[in-house]
Structure 1
Amino acid sequence: MVLLADVVATSAEVTATRSRKAKTAAIAGLLGRLDPGEVRPATALLAGELPGGRAGVGWSTLAALDVEPAPEPVLTITEVDSAIDAVRLIKGSGSGQRRAAALTGLLGKATPDEQRFLVRLFGGELRQGALEGVMVEAIAAAAEVPTEAVRRAFMLSGRLPATAEAALCGGEPALAEFRLEIGRPVRPMLASPAETLDGALDELGDVSVEYKLDGARIQVHRNGDDVHIYTRTLREITRNVPELVDLARGLSCRAVVLDGETLALDDSGRPRPFQETMGRFGAQNSRDLLLHPYFFDCLHLDGDDLLDLPLRQRLDALEKVAPQHRIPAILSPSADRASALFDEALDAGHEGVMVKALDSGYAAGRRGRSWRKVKPEHTLDLIVLAAEWGHGRRRGYLSNLHLGARDPDGGPPIMVGKTFKGLTDELLAWQTAQFQRRETHRDDWTVHVVPELIVEIELDGVQASPRYAGGVALRFARVLRYRPDKDAASADSIEAVRAMLPGG
């Protein structure tokens, strides 16, 4: 039987070191001590997530609690798991007061360190998507199975606790039982930035070059008439996009899983602003703004899983099932033809091109080098860490953003700069409200927030700087837009930022 105190101590040990090896060893050590029934909740807790997902508790509720702590650790992982489930089930009239009472009961059994951990857990402050890679390696080490077997199972399940349970309780055979399941989203394959088109072509060899759309990632699952549509973060949006559901039902197949992008177009066929596309995902009806899908990959077709096949064969399947909805692309182009497509994409209002190795499999859930994105300007997807109150015309608004890059070794985001440029009055009002809802603490000038909002930043480059922990600083950074379709695990890493150094 493992106590919450053991999880808290391990979490503190992981936070205290920058060594990926040490983080992995600490987590694996605790995982190896768990009873089977403790694996799922403990894995979630170690990853900084509430077992079972959000529980409907806001920071205002947490901030109002003042509970005398327990003198000694007594809470077990299973007791914490049950208490979180009980809070989640509280609904209806007076639910706020009843949640506060349930939380008071839980916190009253916790030591001071455990209380701080639980408050940050319920508030979302512990949630670190960047820790997933370390967790995968730790699960593999604790279960004594290949890391790649765990990574693949996680890709297919989309759930770290379920993957850990399979590895620790059933070993490699249990991990191998995970299959692509229609209706259960697959973690999407991601791309790495390339400095130049010629560089990407030279690196990858025989490639597909396709438009990089300024749209939102979608994954479409169809089995007969049953259709499910998911975002990049695996959130289901099926009921909000009826035109995409109808389109999927009209494809010439029985079962399919497609990867692609969707966007809204104006009357001339050019893409509407990204925010308008994302606005449809939260809408209750389609109104007059229709979404247009463009697919670039096929992961399953009529009973055949295609994940491990080369991209060229997956594209053959895509051509068979949805030729009229393929993203504009050319296979095995010359450098001149690839450059012409790049210019065509920009002229059509898109972001640039993607360059993909035709012999690559679908490596989901991480940024590999088989897919490279090429854009004419430097941009980074960074994590908002805090914001400073504005002056003059911006008085009363949270303005100057503190920006962090993802730590690939599972630590907290690493600060790389600040900016207040590019913020419209509308964005200033929006982020002032959003940041205060996500506030963790503040001083006279700065509000610190849960590190979960992603902002796309345009910049001239980076420079070496001792001012920030990552040793680099952004040059002439400005806000392009927020990315509600992305989470902290999708942010650019400190390695990607450092790669932009002159000569990097």
Structure 2
Amino acid sequence: MLFSRVVATSGEVGATRSRKAKTAALAAVLADASPDEVAPVTAWLAGFMLQGRTGIGWRTLSGVEIDPAAQPSLEVGDVEAALDRLAALAGSGSGVGARRTAELSSLLGAATADEGRFLVRLLGGELRQGALEGLMVEAVAAAATLASEATGRRVQVPAEVVRRAFMLSGQLPETARTALASDDPVAALEAVGLEVMRPVRPMLASPGDSLEATLADLGTEIVVEHKLDGARIQVHRRGDEVRVWSRTLHEITDAVPEIVALTRGLPVETVVLDGETLAVAEDGRPRAFQESMKGLGSGAMQPWFFDCLHRDGRDLVDEPLETRRRELAEIVGDRVIPSVVRPTPERAAQAIDGALAAGQEGSMVKALDSTYTAGRRGKAWQKIKPSHTFDLVVLACEWGSGRRRGWLSNIHLGARTDDGFVMVGKTFKGMTDETLRWQTETFPRYETSRDAYTVYLRPEIVVEIELDGVQTSTRYPGGVALRFARVVRYRDDKPVGETDTLDTLRALRR
């Protein structure tokens, strides 16, 4: 397949607001891809590379000046091979830098102008605002359905089957390859199971409007847990081998020796646990989230667990939460996150007040009959916090004035849509001098361009924002404005694909 087909599809997806049209365009190109092309094409259209980081920064990308090709000739395999070579040129030094620039120049010289722009955005991380994972899951399902027609037997592939396989494999490109390489895609996807030592995509919670509204949604068959202000962890053990992953499925085993030691002492042979780890002060109260993130690697973290996905050969993801909690308690004992099962409304309110009094950020309310599912934020798990907080993306930052002169200060906030991120407001409230210093040192590493007043950034930095509410506004492209927005913290642990959506903000409009 010509690489230009992928580039054209990306442009087509970005040019329409129709989710149905986006899905159809993505499905068509995936269905036509060869088995070797499916994985890279899926990754590129979702905004990332199979190779991860290549070590190429914007200075290198902007420094390559070469005339584009007049006609498209690059194949998908040519581009993937070039990206492999670029990723292999790790390290620093003039020799490595020169080879990297030469390889990049060769690739961009073989690309048309449109292909070159796509490659620069892909290598620079800017395509993260393209087709998001949820849309790609639907496209993979539609592509597998289309591909089955070529065999003379149409098989309808439900998006939920793709989503489940993606959750259990943790890899969208591999899920797409599985779906499109089989004569029976549904059976192939359903055969994807949990594997100990392969991380599972985490289940997510939706924000609850209030305890009363959440209880109306979930009823009385619930558990109310402390929502710890820590770092999400997923822990796997097989025999004496223990591995730990972060919320973004990056392995952090070497940074958490205390969790590895604790897990080796549990009364199991194989296990998969979901939980949080946090730094604790001398009085037993949790330290700030940023301190928990900095504490990774210090050996001073305390792990707590709230779910068990596997125990001694038995997968538990399809079991109700009540069953998983019972298994969890037998395994980790007093390392279960504090909780109250089947509380009355009064007791639930007391539990939430108790979590706040203990220094936690809020509470989780979960349905006891819920299975473990990843992907869309469902209503089975809801988070209750004392005020509205949302995870948004920093799109740009303005230079400060007055006391803030010389510091990057006022941040531009973006909410997630199918097309990427749309601006919904600005704020500098809640920023300490340390925050201003960190922004000024860090943000230029994500820079795409700047003018006299503003540094524009790749949409990769997630920030938690507290606000009083949302109102309709014509000032920002998202059609809403945030009331009294202030910075709570930066979320190094959260990928941009899990940030809050524009629709979620619009639901709060006054």
Residue 168 of structure 2 corresponds to residue 167 of structure 1: no
- Aligned match of 1:230 in 226, 245, 248? 245
Supply the distance in 1 between the matched residues of 2:313 and 2:238 (Cα, whole angstroms): 10
Check if 1:245 corresponds to 2:245: no
Report the alpha carbon displacement of residue 129 of structure 1 after superposing the two structures with TM. Answer: 8.1
- SS, match of residue 89 in structure 2: coil
CA distance in 2, matches of 1:491, 1:331: 29
Aligned to 2:439: 431
Give the superposition deviation at 1:130.
6.5
Equivalence for 1:299 = 309
- Match for residue 420 of structure 1? 428
SS at match of 2:378: strand
- Greater displacement, 129-138 / 228-237: 129-138
Query: How big is each residue's C-alpha offset from its partner over 1:184-225, in whole Å with a ceiling of 9 and x where there is no partner?
Result: 111100001111112111210110111111111111101111
- Larger CA deviation: 343-352 vs 420-429: 420-429
Quote the RMSD (CA, aligned, Å). Answer: 1.2
In structure 1, what is the equivalent of residue 400 of structure 2?
390
Whole-Å separation in 2 of the counterparts to 1:386 and 1:458: 19
SS at match of 2:379: strand
* Equivalent residue number for residue 217 of structure 1: 232
CA distance in 2, matches of 1:36, 1:499: 42
Pair 1:355-2:365 in alignment: yes
Tell me the amino acid that sits aligned with residue 242 of structure 1: P
2:326 to 316, 329, 334: 316
C-alpha displacement at 1:107, in angstroms? 0.5
Structure-2 residue corresponding to 1:36:
35
Q: Which residue of 2 aligns with 1:201?
A: 215
Q: Deviations over 1:248-273 (max 9, x none)?
A: 00111111101111111111100011
Q: Distance in 2 between matches of 1:224 and 1:324?
A: 22
Structure-2 residue corresponding to 1:178: 192
Shift of 1:442: 1.7
Q: Alpha-carbon deviation of 1:246?
A: 0.3
In structure 1, the gaps of 5 or more residues are none
Q: Secondary structure at the match of 1:236?
A: coil
Cα deviations by residue, 1:436-465 (Å, 9 ceiling, x for unpaired):
111111222111101010111111111111
Separation in structure 1 between the aligned mates of residue 86 and residue 360 of structure 2, nearest angstrom:
45
Quick one: distance in 2 between partners of 1:91 and 1:268?
Answer: 45
Task: Work out whether 1:109 is the aligned partner of 2:110.
Answer: yes
- Tell me which amino acid in the other structure corresponds to 1:463: Q
Point out the more displaced range, 389-398 or 371-380. Answer: 389-398
Q: For 1:217 and 1:62, locate their aligned partners in 2 and report how far apart those are by CA, in whole Å.
A: 34
Residue in structure 2 matching 1:279, options 284, 294, 300: 294
Q: C-alpha separation between the residues in 1 aligned to 2:338 and 2:402?
A: 47
Superposed CA deviations along residues 460-502 of structure 1, whole A, max 9, x for unmatched, are 1111111222221001111111010001111111121112223
* Alpha-carbon distance in structure 2 between the residues aligned to 1:194 and 1:38: 41
Query: Which letter maps to 1:420?
Result: F
8 A contact 1:342–1:353 mirrored in 2? yes
- Residues 305-349 of structure 1: per-residue CA shift (max 9 Å, x gap): 000111111111111111210000111110111111111111100
| Matched residue type, 1:333 | P
Quote how far apart the aligned CAs of 1:17 are.
Answer: 1.2
Distance 1:475 1:18 in 2: 27
In the TM superposition, residue 154 of structure 1 has moved relative to its aligned partner by 0.5
Alpha-carbon separation, structure 2, partners of 1:237 and 1:128: 27
Q: Which residue identity does 1:162 align to in structure 2?
A: E
* Structure 2: 5+ residue stretches without partners: 146-156
In the aligned structure 1, how far is the partner of 2:51 from the partner of 2:487? Answer: 34
Residue in structure 1 matched with residue 151 of structure 2 by the alignment:
none
Indicate the residue corresponding to 1:135 in structure 2.
Answer: 136
Distance 2:349 2:461 in 1: 34
- Structure 1 letter corresponding to 2:171: R
> 2:121: which partner in 1?
120
Aligned twin of 2:337? 327
2:28 alignment partner, SS class: helix
Instruction: Tell me, in whole angstroms, the C-alpha distance in 2 between the residues paired with 1:490 and 1:135.
Output: 14
Identity of aligned residues (%): 59
1:56 aligned partner: 55
Contact 1:130/1:488, CA 8 A, preserved across alignment: no
For the 8 Å contact 2:130–2:419, the answer to whether it is kept is no
Match of 2:488 in 1: 480
User: Would the aligned equivalents of 2:40 and 2:80 in 1 still touch at CA under 8 Å?
Assistant: yes
Shift of 1:51: 2.6
- Do the aligned residues in 2 keep the contact of 1:190 with 1:364 (CA within 8 Å)? yes
**Runs (4+) off by over 4 Å:** none
> 1:86 aligns to what SS in structure 2?
helix
- Per the alignment, residue 366 of structure 1 pairs with 376
Instruction: Quote how far apart the aligned CAs of 1:280 are.
Output: 2.6
* Match in the other structure for 1:191: 205
Counterparts of residues 135-154 of structure 1 (less than 5 Å): 135-144=136-145, 145-154=157-166
Q: CA–CA distance in 1 between the matches of 2:429 and 2:334?
A: 41
More off after superposition, 195-204 vs 85-94: 85-94
Matched, 1:264 2:272: no
- In 2 relative to 1, CA 129–485 (structure 1 residues): closer, same or farther, beyond 3 Å? farther
Q: Distance in 2 between matches of 1:74 and 1:320?
A: 60
| 1:366 CA displacement | 2.7
Kindly state the Cα deviation for residue 394 of structure 1 after the two structures are TM-superposed. 1.4
Moved more, 363-372 or 6-15: 363-372
The answer as to whether partners of 1:130 and 1:489 remain within 8 angstroms in 2 is: no
Secondary structure of 1:266's partner?
coil
Paired residue total: 494
Tell me how far 1:173 sits from its aligned partner.
2.2
Alignment partner for residue 441 of structure 1, among 424, 449, 462?
Answer: 449
Mapped contact 2:13–2:131 kept (Cα < 8 A): no
C-alpha contact 1:55 1:87 (8 A) present in aligned 2: yes
The answer to whether the Cα contact below 8 Å between 2:230 and 2:289 also exists between their aligned partners in 1 is yes
Contact 2:47 2:131 in 1 (8 A): no
What secondary structure does 1:154 align onto?
helix
Q: 1:130 to 1:461 in 2, by over 3 A?
A: farther
Q: Could you tell me how far apart the structure 1 residues matched to 2:382 and 2:230 are?
A: 17
CA distance in 1, matches of 2:66, 2:240: 52
| Amino acid in the other structure paired with 2:482 | L
- Counterpart-to-counterpart distance in 2, 1:181 and 1:264: 30
Q: Which residue of 2 aligns with 1:84?
A: 83
Whole-angstrom distance in 1 between the partners of 2:90 and 2:304: 40
Match of 2:244, SS? strand
Corresponding residue of 1:14: 13
